[in-house]
A and B are shown apart, each in its own frame.
Chain A
């Protein structure tokens, strides 16, 4: 062994250690290069958590920006059952603060099992929330979340709809416009310690939520309120089952009010039966009865199968045509064409039907928009019931002119009546006017496109019809639809309710309705009211049950919209015929 050998050994030994360090440099580079991405991602998974930032749901606003559907913050108390040191103590504390029964909370907490987040109670007051936080129980906390509320409660509830507890629209416009209202949730990526406690916001870990857009309606809460109040009063007065009402601007098709009675409170929608959720104005067709007659009468004028002063034999109230016997409520012998409408003679209408023929009848009914959706842009709209021409039978020719054998929805009827108010155009009604963002910029204009359609009836026919319909209002003995300042034109209807088995009609079961426009010279409003199953012992004629409701609705609305009157005070508007006023 020489000194040189010893030195070699030193070099080898220290070289060995240096080699080891060199190998570890390689090991580090290896970890980074070959496994680094996977390991770093794994580290991120344990260190980071994405916390959603809930977008605020957009508002639903009325035509003047009043909030119908709002989003507010609601505080709730939750528990993490896994980390609660003592379930019983926690339950008792929460129960004491919220004035609940601890025996109801504790089992729920125990049953929550391995869930990390259990909501004990939603909607607590700020003071209660503070007391819970002050109690300082680990695993017990409060949180705030956006919450849908309807400050106007029942207002237009069936149209507006409601949201589920998790904030998804499940009915009405809330459902239909959910994709607009919902917005886009943001996300907050937090860095947390091993005990899941967040302490940093990750780099680029914040994407703000985009709040939902607001939906602006054509409905005016003021008019809607008046309509709902009057409808409720009308239904109550005649002890009826239900009622619907709709108010339209006849030139644009903007729906100013749309009401269903009885309604419901979307804040507590589970307290009401599901049948209340339906917007019957658009979903439920019914046999319109006499309110349907003007469309056929106008067709007869347009087709020149009749002239204004022609006299019809109304067969003293009973007329057998083929296998069918038509009856009038009151027997009439001879009526002019105008009187047929004013007295609402079924026999007269049946004779008009025969003159027009099935093809013409069908043609005009279609041109008035029956048997198809109005395109109002709301979900669940019915197209009504109109048999195709090939399935018409011998009865159809005389049934249809008096509003039988056809099912129409209230919106269809109101829309078609606009034809007499706007110069013959068939408008598309709409309720959703625009989608706007938080700054009020219009994101999407929902106004239906205007198209110049051929007038359904020629102008002279329309003028004649409006004149006749004014007489309907003015010549009734009760004058229940007359307004002192504005000339109303309209038509009553008292339809019997068809039996469910399809064999004829129920006894003493009616839908009393009234459709009207105002003011006659330059119509600005069309309103329709139908009241279902009024108590026949109190009254059931459309002019008696529905017409006063329409009158009050129009009175409120005209005043609210400051539509100038077209009648000089104390003018005598009654024409010759004032004997009786029937359907």
Chain B
């Protein structure tokens, strides 16, 4: 196979890349700001010991990854007929292996009470990553490839939908052991992609029952999740205990007012708001840049969603369409869930704000995901197919179409 890179730009792909870069840039600035404390500054620690400098470095890497991935034709990840070597399968297997490995004590590392980390390289570097981030990439890619390959069969329960759901369930299950929030996100995005692929709605609703039961089981299984749920109802009843984070997050958001205290002028980060650099960075943004700043960040995500919708609609293949849909929903839902958590609209879950929160693994893998989206946007025709035009009444697009790149 000769690989030709997709170097052409479309307004849509440019918009995706610029919006993403803007969010990542804001992330670096806010991580530096939120990391400000009365203790050592970012330059007093070693380079790798400083989350701020690490974030800056990883964001540079992530930006490169975004640009590179966006010019590599995404169709190489599609399942090609009659071939034994399928890259997407390898990726899925690697992801599943890592997810399993992280659960083994001694290999997976506990941070903040959850075994979510794998250490890489010598301990002195302190490098590690979260396999759950790879899971997002692997699931999105594999689901798009699989659904594009099975085509209309997704509407058949036993031969189409069930294997697909089982595959999604495998990911969700492995991730859910240690990371409920990400598992819920994977389940949500997975279900949506399956729906987008054409699965029957009543099948999904039927299958939703055991999923809901499983969800309840996962909640009850860990007492801290029950506590989080109860606290969510009235966080101010227990402001020093389980309600501490939600209350402090609300105080952080409110104390910025409409226009904010000014960049770097936030106070809550000085020991009041836990995880200000990571999961609660949106609160810090609101405190320093105001409600207006927070709305602007939501606006940037909305731009990504809008461009993702365009790319989805214009995708030249089913694989591209489902990939764009998966990536868009992954970014959109995670952002929405994170902001919902910090605004105490839903119970507290450990889930970061995509592209903005501190965390090397997160920013790099989201960059790769969006790179894929940008690539789909590059490949798409500039004109969106009209509702009435095209093979609107034609039967199901077939698998060959999805693998069209190989032709």
- Chain A residues close to B by CB (< 8 Å): 1-7, 9-11, 13-15, 17-18, 20-25, 27-29, 31-32, 35-36, 38-40, 42-44, 46-47, 191-195, 197, 199-200
- Per the bound structure, the CA–CA distance linking A197 and B321 in Å amounts to 55
Contact A43 B325 (CB under 8 A): no
Contact B251 A27 (CB under 8 A): no
Contact A24 B155 (CB under 8 A): no
* A1 contacts across to B, CB distance below 8 A: 152, 155, 198, 396
- B333 close to chain A: CB less than 8 A: yes
Contact B250 A21 (CB under 8 A): no
* B257 contacts across to A, CB distance below 8 A: 32, 36, 40
Contact A3 B305 (CB under 8 A): no
- B271 close to chain A: CB less than 8 A: yes
Which of A3, A25, A35 has its CB near the most chain B CB atoms (within 10 A)? A3
- Per the bound structure, the CA–CA distance linking A46 and B270 in Å amounts to 11
Summarize A's interface: helix, strand, loop or mixed.
helix
**With contacts A191-B267, A193-B38 known, is A17 near B343, CB below 8 A?**
no
- B177 close to chain A: CB less than 8 A: no
**With contacts A6-B198, A39-B251 known, is A21 near B291, CB below 8 A?**
no
Interface string of B299-310 (1 = CB under 8 A from A): 001100110110
Which residue of chain B lies nearest to A192 when distances are taken between CB atoms in the complex? B270
Summarize B's interface: helix, strand, loop or mixed.
helix
Which residue of chain A lies nearest to B312 when distances are taken between CB atoms in the complex? A10
Contact A24 B329 (CB under 8 A): no
19 residue pairs of the A-B complex, CB under 8 angstroms, read A1-B155, A6-B197, A7-B313, A10-B313, A13-B325, A14-B305, A14-B329, A15-B309, A17-B305, A18-B332, A21-B301, A21-B336, A32-B291, A39-B251, A39-B253, A40-B251, A43-B254, A193-B271, A199-B38
Which residue of chain B lies nearest to A45 when distances are taken between CB atoms in the complex? B251
* B198 contacts across to A, CB distance below 8 A: 1, 5-6, 9
**With contacts A4-B392, A13-B329 known, is A27 near B343, CB below 8 A?**
yes
**With contacts A14-B308, A21-B302 known, is A31 near B271, CB below 8 A?**
no
Distance in Å: Cβ of A292 to nearest Cβ of chain B: 75
Interface string of B244-259 (1 = CB under 8 A from A): 0000001111110110
* B126 contacts across to A, CB distance below 8 A: none
Contact B195 A9 (CB under 8 A): yes
Contact B339 A24 (CB under 8 A): yes
Name the one of B252, B258, B268, B302 contacting A32, with C-beta atoms under 8 angstroms. Answer: B258
* B250 contacts across to A, CB distance below 8 A: 31, 35, 39
- Per the bound structure, the CA–CA distance linking A24 and B302 in Å amounts to 11
- B5 close to chain A: CB less than 8 A: no
Distance in Å: Cβ of A205 to nearest Cβ of chain B: 13
- Per the bound structure, the CA–CA distance linking A453 and B299 in Å amounts to 88
Distance in Å: Cβ of A6 to nearest Cβ of chain B: 6
Contact A194 B309 (CB under 8 A): no
- B397 close to chain A: CB less than 8 A: yes
**With contacts A10-B321, A14-B328 known, is A3 near B394, CB below 8 A?**
yes
Interface string of B378-407 (1 = CB under 8 A from A): 000000000100111110110000000000
- Per the bound structure, the CA–CA distance linking A21 and B255 in Å amounts to 22
Contact B255 A39 (CB under 8 A): yes
Distance in Å: Cβ of A431 to nearest Cβ of chain B: 53
Contact A21 B312 (CB under 8 A): no
- Per the bound structure, the CA–CA distance linking A47 and B253 in Å amounts to 14
Contact B286 A2 (CB under 8 A): no
- B294 close to chain A: CB less than 8 A: yes
Which 3 A-B residue pairings sit nearest by Cβ, starting from the closest?
A: A194-B271, A39-B254, A17-B332
Query: Which B325-368 residues sit within 8 Å CB-CB of chain A?
Result: 325, 328-329, 332-333, 335-336, 339-340, 343, 345
Contact A193 B329 (CB under 8 A): no
- B295 close to chain A: CB less than 8 A: yes
Given contacts A3-B390, A39-B254, A193-B37, 15 further A-B contacts (CB under 8 A): A2-B394, A9-B196, A10-B321, A20-B336, A21-B301, A21-B305, A21-B339, A24-B339, A24-B345, A32-B257, A32-B258, A35-B254, A43-B251, A193-B270, A195-B38
- Per the bound structure, the CA–CA distance linking A209 and B313 in Å amounts to 69
Which residue of chain B lies nearest to A39 when distances are taken between CB atoms in the complex? B254
Which residue of chain B lies nearest to A11 when distances are taken between CB atoms in the complex? B309
Interface string of B169-206 (1 = CB under 8 A from A): 00000000000000000000000100111100000000
- B298 close to chain A: CB less than 8 A: yes
Contact B325 A14 (CB under 8 A): yes
Distance in Å: Cβ of A546 to nearest Cβ of chain B: 71
- Per the bound structure, the CA–CA distance linking A22 and B254 in Å amounts to 19
- B157 close to chain A: CB less than 8 A: no
* A2 contacts across to B, CB distance below 8 A: 392-394
Which residue of chain A lies nearest to B343 when distances are taken between CB atoms in the complex? A27
Contact A43 B329 (CB under 8 A): no
- Per the bound structure, the CA–CA distance linking A10 and B197 in Å amounts to 9
* B397 contacts across to A, CB distance below 8 A: 3
- Per the bound structure, the CA–CA distance linking A395 and B272 in Å amounts to 86
* B391 contacts across to A, CB distance below 8 A: 3
Name the one of A4, A24, A42 contacting B340, with C-beta atoms under 8 angstroms. Answer: A24
Contact B340 A20 (CB under 8 A): yes
Contact B272 A47 (CB under 8 A): yes
Which residue of chain A lies nearest to B302 when distances are taken between CB atoms in the complex? A21
- Per the bound structure, the CA–CA distance linking A20 and B397 in Å amounts to 31
Contact A46 B294 (CB under 8 A): no
Contact B253 A194 (CB under 8 A): no
* B196 contacts across to A, CB distance below 8 A: 6, 9-10, 13
* B345 contacts across to A, CB distance below 8 A: 23-24, 27
Contact A43 B286 (CB under 8 A): no
* A194 contacts across to B, CB distance below 8 A: 270-272
Which residue of chain A lies nearest to B251 when distances are taken between CB atoms in the complex? A43
* A36 contacts across to B, CB distance below 8 A: 254, 257
Distance in Å: Cβ of A18 to nearest Cβ of chain B: 5
* A46 contacts across to B, CB distance below 8 A: 251, 272
- Per the bound structure, the CA–CA distance linking A223 and B61 in Å amounts to 87
* B393 contacts across to A, CB distance below 8 A: 2, 4
Contact B306 A18 (CB under 8 A): yes
Name the one of B38, B258, B286, B332 contacting A21, with C-beta atoms under 8 angstroms. Answer: B332
Query: Which B113-151 residues sit within 8 Å CB-CB of chain A?
Result: none
- Per the bound structure, the CA–CA distance linking A287 and B299 in Å amounts to 95
Contact B328 A17 (CB under 8 A): yes
**With contacts A1-B155, A18-B306 known, is A40 near B254, CB below 8 A?**
yes
- Per the bound structure, the CA–CA distance linking A15 and B333 in Å amounts to 11
- Per the bound structure, the CA–CA distance linking A221 and B155 in Å amounts to 109
- Per the bound structure, the CA–CA distance linking A197 and B286 in Å amounts to 24
* B271 contacts across to A, CB distance below 8 A: 193-195
Distance in Å: Cβ of A44 to nearest Cβ of chain B: 7
Distance in Å: Cβ of B250 to nearest Cβ of chain A: 6
- Per the bound structure, the CA–CA distance linking A349 and B142 in Å amounts to 129
Contact A28 B267 (CB under 8 A): no
Which of A39, A44, A191 has its CB near the most chain B CB atoms (within 10 A)? A39
Distance in Å: Cβ of B192 to nearest Cβ of chain A: 5
Name the one of B270, B294, B336 contacting A17, with C-beta atoms under 8 angstroms. Answer: B336
Distance in Å: Cβ of A15 to nearest Cβ of chain B: 8
* B392 contacts across to A, CB distance below 8 A: 2-4
* A20 contacts across to B, CB distance below 8 A: 332-333, 336, 340
* A14 contacts across to B, CB distance below 8 A: 305, 308-309, 312, 325, 328-329, 332
Distance in Å: Cβ of A199 to nearest Cβ of chain B: 6
**With contacts A10-B196, A13-B192, A36-B254 known, is A18 near B302, CB below 8 A?**
yes
Which of B198, B270, B302, B312 has its CB near the most chain A CB atoms (within 10 A)? B270
Name the one of A7, A22, A191, A192 contacting B387, with C-beta atoms under 8 angstroms. Answer: A7
Interface string of B210-242 (1 = CB under 8 A from A): 000000000000000000000000000000000
Which residue of chain A lies nearest to B200 when distances are taken between CB atoms in the complex? A1
* B340 contacts across to A, CB distance below 8 A: 20, 24, 27
Contact B254 A10 (CB under 8 A): no
* A3 contacts across to B, CB distance below 8 A: 390-392, 394, 397
* B270 contacts across to A, CB distance below 8 A: 192-194, 199
* A38 contacts across to B, CB distance below 8 A: 254
